[in-house]
Amino acid sequence: MKILNDDTEVKAIFVNIFGGILRCDNLAASILKANELNKFKKPIVLRLKGTNSDVAKKMIAGKEKDLGIFYNEDFDSAAKLVCQVAKGN
């Protein structure tokens, strides 16, 4: 995440996880912690679906604009959203 955030060519970060074994809440907690430590400047779109994705969604809820992290469970909607935020819309 830090490498992507530091790359001047990257406009937005898209994390697409369909977790069966990976717990989505653990991934969301890791991304929130990494954001806290590195203060990401790039918007991040999370598409998390699977084990504890509902918990992950609650972890992000209400913090989207402050953190620049946007949560979406639908792949097509998330892909469109990352394109919009990369363009600054």
pLDDT of residue 89: 61
Compute the average pLDDT of residues 29-40.
90
Residues in Cβ contact with 39 at an 8 Å cutoff, skipping those fewer than 6 apart: none
For the chain, give the mean pLDDT: 90
Residue 62 pLDDT: 86
Domain limits for position 35: 2-87
Q: Residue type at 57? A: K
pTM for this entry: 0.85
Q: What is the dihedral of CA 16, 84, 13, 36, to 10 degrees?
A: -110
β-bridge partners, 44:
13, 69
Q: Which is it for the CA torsion 74, 66, 57, 38, positive or negative? A: positive
Q: Domain holding 11: CATH number?
A: 3.40.50.261
Each residue of 67-82: pLDDT tens digit?
A: 889 988 899 999 999 9
pLDDT band at 63 (very low <50, low <70, confident <90, very high): confident
Domain total of the chain: 1
- What's the whole-number mean pLDDT along residues 17-31? 88
